Amino acid sequence: MSAFSALRPVARYIRASRMVAICVLFLLLVALVALAGPLLSPNDYISTDFDNRFGAPTMQGMQFFGTDEFGRDLFSRTLLGIQVTLFVAVIASIVSLGIGVIYGATAGFIGGKVDAVMMRAVDALYALPFVFLVILLMVAFERNFLLIFVAIGAINWLDMARIVRGQTISLKHREFVDAARLIGVSTPGIIWRHITPNLFGVVVVYMTLTIPQAILVESFLSFLGLGVQEPQTSLGALVNSGITHMGRAPWLLIIPASVLAFILFCFNFLGDGLRDVVDPKNKT
């Protein structure tokens, strides 16, 4: 079983529907935008222009999205927001992936009582209002960027752990695992060398579901003013400042809000379909 064979039904799924193709294309575009960031705009995201506050979207000077309360170019700021939001989300997903894979693979592989206790703990953690704990963390430690990644990653690993555990259980009775054990490979060695590589397909699919969750938490924190700080920005922070001025300049709210909504919708739509492909039992 190669690491990529699990992705074959995924490729078939992507080719099957037009809506899926649109979402994939849109997300690829977003990824490109996120890589380039504010460089794509001729204006920078930081310089203020008090003669041009709340400028409406215009082609003039390439200010496609208008200007904000300080006369800063909203197009550049939205590009920056996409970049920051996606960056945080991807790093956070990698953190949650790390924790989830190790935890799930361990529980699934060892099995028995250890597994029961570990999964009971996951069940207990599921229902907690995690966002409150993250905010607490933000309050306790200065709002530093690194902490946002870690905090979001630390709350998002539960799903990953559950799925990985299920996969591990189905993998551990395969012949190659017995063979490895026969020649004396240790348990951590088997988990690392033989189980985790085979989890690749499932994990990639689940990333499409953890990334929107991470985006949601990040933009929630930024929305509350606890996330990314000025002059940096993220989509959540842009929505937040858009609310303050929505009576006067509705585009400050509508544009970042729709960008955020589209990104989340596409991730969720894709992730949902992909999950049904790799985990038909969970079909909704």
Interface residues with another protein (CB under 8 A)?
Answer: 120, 124, 126-133, 135-142, 212, 216, 219-220, 223-226, 236, 239-240, 242-243, 246-247, 250, 253-254, 257, 260-261, 264-265, 267-269, 272, 283-284
Least distance (Å) between residue 260 CB and another protein: 6
Least distance (Å) between residue 180 CB and another protein: 32
Q: Nearest 5°: phi and psi at 224?
A: -80, -5
110 burial via Cβ count (<10 Å: 0-12, 13-18, 19+): middle
Rounded distance, CA 32 to CA 148, Å?
23
Residues 6+ apart with CB under 8 A from 132: none
Least distance (Å) between residue 214 CB and another protein: 12
The residue (of 98 and 250) whose beta carbon lies closer to another protein is 250
The residue (of 70 and 220) whose beta carbon lies closer to another protein is 220
The residue (of 11 and 128) whose beta carbon lies closer to another protein is 128
The residue (of 109 and 269) whose beta carbon lies closer to another protein is 269
**CB distance 256 to 242 below 8 Å:** yes
Least distance (Å) between residue 146 CB and another protein: 15
The residue (of 49 and 276) whose beta carbon lies closer to another protein is 276
Least distance (Å) between residue 265 CB and another protein: 4
| Residue position matching structure tokens 């969970």 | 282
Q: CA Rg, the chain, in Å? A: 22
> Which 3 state secondary structure label does DSSP give 53?
coil
Phi-psi region of 225 (alpha: psi -120 to 50; beta: other; left: phi over 0): left
